[in-house]
Amino acid sequence: MATLTLLQAVNDGLRTEMRRDDRVVCLGEDIGINGGVFRATEGLQKEFGAERVIDTPLAESGIIGTAIGMALYGLKPVPEIQFMDFIYPAFDQIVSELAKFRYRSGGQFPSPVVIRTPYGGGIKGGHYHSQSAEAYFCHTPGIQVVIPSTPHDAKGLLASAIRGEDPVLFMEPKRIYRSIKGEVPEGEYTVPIGKAAIARPGTQVTIVAWGSMTHIALEAAEKAQEEKGVSCEVLDLRSLVPLDKAALLESVKKTGRVVIVCEAPRTGGYAGELSAIIAEEAIDSMEAPIVRVTGFDTPFPYTLEHAYMPNTGRILKAIDTVVNF
């Protein structure tokens, strides 16, 4: 079993699925000859040719519109949006067309488009290269939102997304593209979409996270155990839509205390939706108010990136709040 970075796992996942199914095609800005801005598609055009790994103009609406047409005619397109911050020119194509085709056609026209996009902060990208916009798409029925946090899950979830018949927004936490390594099986395997993973078992506090925040949550949980003797369970959602509500509620009912960690702005973020679910369905189990540790309601800052993004100190403070309530 190979040890890969998350970025290498994405590349391996694309290569494996393209070898398995010749309907799988990739398209995006600079993904061919250059292998993408982060090199996620490096070597794919050399192996599969320019007809299956397509360099496109810098036109996000055109990229997604083309991918939708490909899917309707039987292909399995995997378009890349170079940074999630640039997805907005394609927003109408995604929410008005892609997410609606299967429903409006009574299931006659599936839309197996997997939109890959790096997201989030942590690389000094400034406010045009660091946003976490998952909530916009979680609000759109018809599209799945998947966010891996480990190399193993990145490859397995990507395979599940490509093999499905629904559109998927596959968000890749670029902060941990190269900093996180893990064992990844060679060849084909899948990780089911809609199933959360317990990244660390615990009994006193549930920390809910996804993407790169899962690793910050794990660091905070370890410190809470070492410094305060508090046992924290870290729940890695892996997919936001569909949500593994059963796993969320099971953990919450066990611990009675919840800290939700995400790097998106606080107002209207997905952490608020999770809070509502817990309040509606597990209030009898709660020992303290739900605490959210999030980004702030400001544009993403460049020089203050370290202060904007959740860190172990902010999470430890939240843990203290729920334990000492």
Known catalytic residues are: 129
Q: Are 304 and 209 in contact (CB under 8 A)?
A: no
What DSSP state is assigned to residue 39? Answer: S
Q: Is the dihedral of CA 187, 176, 320, 286 positive or negative?
A: negative
* CA atoms of 36 and 10, how far apart (whole Å): 12
Q: Are 32 and 40 in contact (CB under 8 A)?
A: no
* CA atoms of 110 and 168, how far apart (whole Å): 12
Neighbouring C-alpha atoms within 13 Å toward the C-beta of 232: 33
- Structure token pair of residue 41: 């598609």
Q: Are 177 and 137 in contact (CB under 8 A)?
A: no
The string of DSSP codes covering 121-188 is SSSS--TTS----HHHHHTSTT-EEE---SHHHHHHHHHHHHHSSS-EEEEEEGGGTTT-EEEE-SS-
Per DSSP (E only), the strands in the chain are: 2-5, 24-28, 53-55, 76-80, 114-119, 144-146, 168-173, 181-184, 197-200, 205-209, 232-236, 239-241, 258-261, 291-293
* CA atoms of 278 and 272, how far apart (whole Å): 10
